């Protein structure tokens, strides 16, 4: 049975090449992804929001995202918001350095000692934000709070990006409008593999699963249910379906 993607937090760094602070964003993101919270975080290259596909642009809608920027141009935060979704949190290195009275990072290719300290401080703050966001049930609309156990110490891994892998999406017509639903192909697959027929009880359950990943406007649940019923019935008619 295919699993729906585990709840994780997305990290998007500006990786700006022209400032040491850009290198700090990159190394801090990698420290979180590889050492501090490898099981709870994913990343994507910022340009993929433009250069990639619909699945890439769904990244910040699907994952609560932390943007890490080197300077007040805030390319990562603004770019993520423009093309994907509003970041759940945002850090600007130049502001963090000033707030904490840290030394100025120097060396774009190889950071000085102050730069390394800023990397550590930034990564620590991002890890705290990850923990906070994981304790909230990020339902892509309200962000309802759901307490979870304290994070475990995690084994280090090498970071991998979500570039090109994308979040599966599917367009369906609801009330005459085409709506892109995040994760719908995986949800359909999971329901079908569980032997659930396209009956009213299943459609109600399906609607609840869809709501986890997609905002459904007030008063439109019946229309969504009708469309999902139609689409799921068609999905179940495909080869390999459980009748």
Residues that bind other proteins (CB under 8 A): 13-18, 22, 26-27, 29-31, 34, 43-52, 73, 75-76, 78-79, 82-83, 108-109, 158-164
- Residue 50 beta carbon to other proteins: minimum distance, rounded to whole angstroms: 6
Provide φ and ψ at 230, rounded to 5°.
-65, -45
Pick the closer one to other proteins by CB: 73 or 230: 73
Distance of CA 178 to the CA centre of its chain: 23
Pick the closer one to other proteins by CB: 14 or 228: 14
Number of Cβ within 10 Å of residue 96's Cβ equals: 18
Pick the closer one to other proteins by CB: 6 or 109: 109
Strand partners, 155: none
**What are the Cα distances from residue 188, in Å, to 112, 168, 210?**
51, 11, 10
Distance of alpha carbon 130 from alpha carbon 134, whole angstroms? 6
The per-residue DSSP string of 155-192 comes to ------B-TTT---EEEEEETTEEEEEETHHHHHHHHH
Q: Which two tokens stand for residue 206?
A: 């399906």
Pick the closer one to other proteins by CB: 19 or 223: 19
- Residue 186 beta carbon to other proteins: minimum distance, rounded to whole angstroms: 21
The residue length of the chain stands at 243
- Residue 116 beta carbon to other proteins: minimum distance, rounded to whole angstroms: 11
- Residue 39 beta carbon to other proteins: minimum distance, rounded to whole angstroms: 16
C-beta of residue 29 within 8 angstroms of C-beta of residue 37: no
- Residue 243 beta carbon to other proteins: minimum distance, rounded to whole angstroms: 40
C-beta of residue 66 within 8 angstroms of C-beta of residue 9: yes
**What are the Cα distances from residue 159, in Å, to 29, 34, 39, 57, 140?**
9, 5, 10, 20, 25
Pick the closer one to other proteins by CB: 102 or 163: 163
Pick the closer one to other proteins by CB: 31 or 140: 31
- Residue 183 beta carbon to other proteins: minimum distance, rounded to whole angstroms: 21
């Amino acid at each position: 049975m295919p699993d729906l993607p585990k709840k994780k937090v997305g990290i998007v760094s500006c990786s700006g090449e022209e400032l040491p602070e850009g290198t700090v964003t990159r190394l801090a993101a990698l420290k979180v992804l590889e050492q501090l919270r490898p099981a709870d975080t994913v990343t994507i290259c910022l340009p993929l929001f433009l250069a990639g596909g619909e699945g890439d642009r769904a990244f910040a809608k699907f994952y609560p995202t932390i943007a890490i920027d080197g300077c007040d141009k805030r390319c990562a935060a603004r770019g993520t918001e423009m093309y994907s979704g509003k970041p759940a949190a945002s850090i600007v290195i130049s502001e963090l350095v000033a707030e904490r009275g840290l030394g100025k990072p120097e060396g774009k290719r190889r950071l000085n000692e102050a730069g390394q300290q800023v990397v550590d401080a930034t990564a620590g703050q991002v890890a705290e934000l990850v923990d906070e966001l994981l304790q909230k049930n990020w339902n892509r609309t309200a962000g309802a709070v759901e307490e979870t156990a304290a994070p475990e110490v995690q084994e280090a891994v090498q970071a991998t990006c979500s570039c090109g892998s994308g979040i599966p999406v599917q367009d369906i017509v609801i009330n005459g409008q085409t709506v892109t639903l995040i994760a719908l192909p995986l949800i359909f697959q999971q329901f079908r593999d569980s032997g659930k027929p396209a009956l009213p009880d299943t459609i109600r359950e399906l609607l609840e699963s869809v709501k986890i990943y997609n905002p459904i406007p007030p008063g439109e649940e019946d229309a969504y249910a009708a469309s999902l019923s139609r689409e799921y019935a068609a999905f179940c008619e495909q080869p390999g379906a459980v009748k």
